[in-house]
A and B are shown apart, each in its own frame.
Chain A
Amino acid sequence: MKRYRSCIPLLLAAFAGAAHAGGLTLNLELPNISVAEYHRPYVAIWVEGADQSIAANLSVWYQLRGDHTKWLPDLRQWWRRGGRDLKVPVDGLTGATRPAGQHILKFDAAATPLSGLKPGKYTLMVEAVREVGGREVVRIPFEWPVKATTRASAQGSSELGAVSLTLDP
């Protein structure tokens, strides 16, 4: 036991180190929507360049069971900006739809896809579309690389709730 205890400071240091690694933390709320027929939304999260192309794809959530890629073009902005060029599924990018609630996503500045970002102005894009529901896009502009910890947020009004972005140098 004693031996393990001595490890704790080391572990803490390791965690602290990870927490201080630069990057992007996204806090995304999928609102509770009270409807008779609710389906979890398809969500695309990406970084858009100044020319509106996709600079980095961060996350794409869609119905994985069965072939439901048919509905990916309903994420209209994401689809037109480059979703249509992507062969899904993609490791580390695509995943299952998520329930209503708060979702925290972290992306390391030193790892793909953020490691490929050139210095410049970008927009964090979050698009959600729900079967028999609506579609909404929320945008948060930011600058890269990050010089000081910055927080920015935006508020969805229908398919998305509060979206906040924390950038750490």
Chain B
Amino acid sequence: MKARIVWLMTAMLVPTVSLAARAWVLPSQTIVSRSGGWVTFDAAMADDLFSFNQGAMPLDGLNVSTPDGSALEPQNVARGKTRSSFDLELRAPGTYRVALATDQVMARWEEDGKPKRWRGTAAEMAANIPAGAARLEVEQMQRRVEAFVTVGAPSALKSAGGAGLELVPLQHPNDLYAGEAARFRLLLDGKPASNVEVEVLAGGTRYRAAPGSILANTDKDGVVSVTWPDAGLYWLDASVADEGATAPGVKKRRAAYNATFEVLPQ
């Protein structure tokens, strides 16, 4: 009995790997005719792709980059229980990158024998983590969740910024067709991210017995190739855990990248 309690306590003290639900942002359409139009987006954290049945994704990191570099305000922004949503009026021709990008620090420590945790930006760390906190574990978490929408003909995408993982499409993300291969380059802090496992999962997971993941590793140039088996919505997932944190006094860093793609029939 005593041994069992000790074992349980040890198990509780081992820092758990954060097993967050899948993060995605889903556009109502990815290809819009030349005159442009309204596109609505749902953002959720849910393992079922693409059913919003778990948690809403906060929209504080929402950033829309437009083809001509102009600012674009999201409209009808709403946060529900299981999804967030917003509308974008897309008129200028070209490709829009819709990103939910966050850069946060997660901390765990003990205070009077009780576990404490905090999550916030690097700038808020000093005010929220007590100096000399016992059993302090801090980790920086950089996450980027994206979707792409094109009005008229696709245009080249500018760099997303360079912090954490980002995707550089070698095949335009709004020019994907069933049976064809698409190549993407993953960058970590702006440099090719080699040997990173990339998982691609078709939407509609609820209606399949097997997940049917497509797994591939990036090569030395950070490039991965995916052949789309069928038309439909796909979710791409890649993450890196290293000691490349940029927050002061933090070593451990996890960088995650997710994107939603629409693959069209031939």
Contact = CB atoms under 8 A, between A and B. Distances in A.
Partners in one complex: yes
A79 interface: yes
Main secondary structure of the interface of A (DSSP, over half): helix
A84 B264 contact: no
A72 interface: yes
Given A76-B264, A76-B265, A77-B266, A87 B177 contact: no
B152 interface: yes
Contacts of B177: 80
Main secondary structure of the interface of B (DSSP, over half): loop
Contact of A84 (B34, B37, B266): B34
Contacts of B265: 76, 135
Contacts of B152: 84-85
Interface string A84-104: 110110000000000000000
B178 to A, nearest CB: 11
A69 B35 contact: yes
B146 to A, nearest CB: 21
Interface in A51-98: 67, 69-73, 76-77, 79-80, 84-85, 87-88
13 contacts: A69-B34, A69-B35, A70-B32, A70-B33, A72-B33, A72-B34, A73-B31, A73-B33, A76-B264, A76-B266, A79-B31, A85-B153, A137-B266
Interface of A: 67, 69-73, 76-77, 79-80, 84-85, 87-88, 135, 137
